[in-house]
Structure 1
Amino acid sequence: MFVELNNLLNTTPDRAEQGKLTLLCDAKTDGSFLVHHFLSFYLKANCKVCFVALFQSFSHYNIVGQKLGVNLTVARERGQLVFLEGLKSAVDVFFQTQEEPHPLQFLREANAGNLKPLFEFVREALKPVDGGEARWTYPVLLVDDLSVLLSLGVGAVAVLDFIHYCRATVCWELKGNMVILVHDSGDVEDEENNILLNGVSHQSHLILRAEGLATGFCRDVHGQLRILWRRPSQPTAQRDQSLTYQYKIQDKSVSFFAKGMSPAVL
């Protein structure tokens, strides 16, 4: 059975409901293709998107987006996409002259735990405007990659507080969705990253965990994706459901198949 990523996620329960937090877990593999998919999916769905990009440049996401059928430049010009380019902004922070706080203001502070300016940026980007409610279907916050904040000196508790406030605003108040990528340190003992991963996992409604193959590199199978969705309203026995697929990343799409069903085997 071969399916595309769009069709795969369309089969997940409660996909159409708003107010959901999706966790993309990158475990010793490159799970960025999931970020690109969700970005293109929400732009095509006419959602208002705030993209906090801490890992790659705007040009990188735009090039991949064009392969997936979306133009980030056009989306940004028409007001559909609000893009925070972390790599560029990190430099601008040290040379800014305006008095207003920068979203990455914590880079200049001795205490790197203040993410309030970043939250204010997200809230301002997605707040409803006059006539805007009818223009976009619902707001979406994407963060790539949340683990970068840890490497910049922000504590896990501060990052979890940031996610909590974003979830309260985007998911509960605005009835939108959140999609965030977090790296899994795996066998490496990283207490802060484990706290962050466990904390976000506990709040997530859908978890997509991209993993490498236990057998090592394969030309026709690039990894496997474990999908776990939670439905708190359901009885305990039916609350958590999971699926596991193997995948191959192609130029303009990703193909998924059951274990043992790759072209190399067939």
Structure 2
Amino acid sequence: MGYATLDAALAFPKNVPPMRQHIVITDTVKSDANFLIHHFVGNQLKGDRHVVLVGMAQIFNHYFLISRKLGINLQSYKQSGRFCFIDGLTHLTSYTDGTPYPPARAPTSPADTLNGSKIPQNACLRTFYDVIKRHVTDKQHPLLIIDDASIFMLSGFGIGPVSMFINKLRVLMESVDGTLMTIIHADEEGTEDPEQDAFVKSVLSTAHLVLQVQALGSGLARDVHGQLSIIHGPKCLPQAANQIIPQSLHYRILDNNAHFFAKGISQGVL
């Protein structure tokens, strides 16, 4: 279900993310990392494990349509209970008060919602944590994906509470033998914003593995869409360091696949 060339580069046992680890994916405006989410979701479901996806950037239909191109029917996994989608986009803050909820029985209805539209902001993240905890508890080696945590900062939540929230989720996933995957924006322009820069560094400081998606330094290319750097995080465990080789790869996104290859290798020889 996932991208074979990425599986080969990461060399995860059974192609699923290691348990009790925090994987951070960084991207930029020019290089969206959304395509990586579908790789990990597909492999996790194929491995008979659970996925809880908190959609901060997109609604369920977005993930459903892209996954369908990759041969993954998220709707059927959703109905079986193996895939859980939590809507973190439409009712996140008081600005969304009055936004209609989808019909409860509609196929695209989320399993739950991070609803901060009627809650004081200082209590929102605590409530959000409780919602997420309810869906990962008692699941078999669940993968929790936050796509993406930068939305909290853009929505006016402070760096301290958001960093604490993510750290609590990391501890939670360790306690249930699961994996936390956090997507954040890390544009170079963000380094000019002290709060955004501090947020990125705070999240990265708790990572076991960092997958850095960037645009090519040389600009656009026909056969290469960007670069993926695989980096050991500060929390990397010794055994993981021996298994995962830090490296930088170029990638090309196709309609129903993505190819990863060493720099300088022509896509034509793949």
TM-score w.r.t. the length of structure 1 is: 0.83
Question: What is the CA-CA distance between 1:258 and the residue it aligns to?
Answer: 1.1
- The match for 2:213 among 210, 219, 226 is 210
Quote the Cα distance in structure 2 between the aligned partners of 1:214 and 1:244: 13
- The match for 2:48 among 46, 49, 52 is 46
Q: Which residue of 2 aligns with 1:242?
A: 246
Is the contact between residue 22 and residue 178 of structure 1 (CA under 8 Å) also seen in structure 2?
A: yes
Question: What is the CA-CA distance between 1:240 and the residue it aligns to?
Answer: 9.3
Q: C-alpha deviations, 1:116-154, integer Å up to 9, x for none?
A: 1111111100111xxxx6xx4x11100101101111111
What amino acid maps onto 2:250 in structure 1?
Answer: Q
Is the contact between residue 209 and residue 236 of structure 2 (CA under 8 Å) also seen in structure 1?
A: no
SS state at 1:87 partner: coil
Asked if 1:152 corresponds to 2:155, the answer is yes
SS state at 1:37 partner: helix
Is the contact between residue 225 and residue 244 of structure 1 (CA under 8 Å) also seen in structure 2?
A: yes
SS state at 2:238 partner: coil
Q: Which residue of 1 aligns with 2:262?
A: 258
Q: Which residue of 2 aligns with 1:63?
A: 65
What amino acid maps onto 1:176 in structure 2?
Answer: G
Q: Which residue of 2 aligns with 1:99?
A: none
Question: What is the CA-CA distance between 1:25 and the residue it aligns to?
Answer: 0.4
Alignment of 1:99-110 (within 5 A): 104-109=114-119
Asked if 1:139 corresponds to 2:139, the answer is no
Is the contact between residue 91 and residue 117 of structure 2 (CA under 8 Å) also seen in structure 1?
A: no
Q: Which residue of 2 aligns with 1:164?
A: 167
Quote the Cα distance in structure 1 between the aligned partners of 2:121 and 2:208: 32
Is the contact between residue 233 and residue 239 of structure 1 (CA under 8 Å) also seen in structure 2?
A: no
Question: What is the CA-CA distance between 1:77 and the residue it aligns to?
Answer: 0.8
- The match for 2:134 among 124, 137, 143 is 124
Q: Which residue of 1 aligns with 2:22?
A: 21
Identify if the C-alpha distance between structure 1 residues 95 and 70 changes in structure 2 by more than 3 Å, giving closer, same or farther.
same
Question: What is the CA-CA distance between 1:69 and the residue it aligns to?
Answer: 2.2
Quote the Cα distance in structure 1 between the aligned partners of 2:250 and 2:257: 14
Structure 1 residues without counterparts, runs of 5 or longer: 97-101
What amino acid maps onto 2:67 in structure 1?
Answer: G
Is the contact between residue 113 and residue 158 of structure 1 (CA under 8 Å) also seen in structure 2?
A: no
SS state at 1:228 partner: strand
Identify if the C-alpha distance between structure 1 residues 260 and 232 changes in structure 2 by more than 3 Å, giving closer, same or farther.
closer
SS state at 2:35 partner: helix
Question: What is the CA-CA distance between 1:26 and the residue it aligns to?
Answer: 0.3
Q: C-alpha deviations, 1:34-89, integer Å up to 9, x for none?
A: 11211212121121211100111111101111122211111111111121123344
Is the contact between residue 29 and residue 212 of structure 1 (CA under 8 Å) also seen in structure 2?
A: yes
SS state at 1:56 partner: coil
Quote the Cα distance in structure 2 between the aligned partners of 1:240 and 1:211: 20
Is the contact between residue 145 and residue 181 of structure 2 (CA under 8 Å) also seen in structure 1?
A: yes
- The match for 2:83 among 64, 81, 84 is 81
TM-score w.r.t. the length of structure 2 is: 0.82
Quote the Cα distance in structure 2 between the aligned partners of 1:187 and 1:265: 36
Q: Which residue of 2 aligns with 1:183?
A: 185
What amino acid maps onto 2:40 in structure 1?
Answer: F
SS state at 2:229 partner: strand
Identify if the C-alpha distance between structure 1 residues 220 and 121 changes in structure 2 by more than 3 Å, giving closer, same or farther.
same
Q: Which residue of 1 aligns with 2:103?
A: none
Is the contact between residue 21 and residue 179 of structure 1 (CA under 8 Å) also seen in structure 2?
A: yes
* Matched positions, count: 251
Asked if 1:195 corresponds to 2:198, the answer is yes
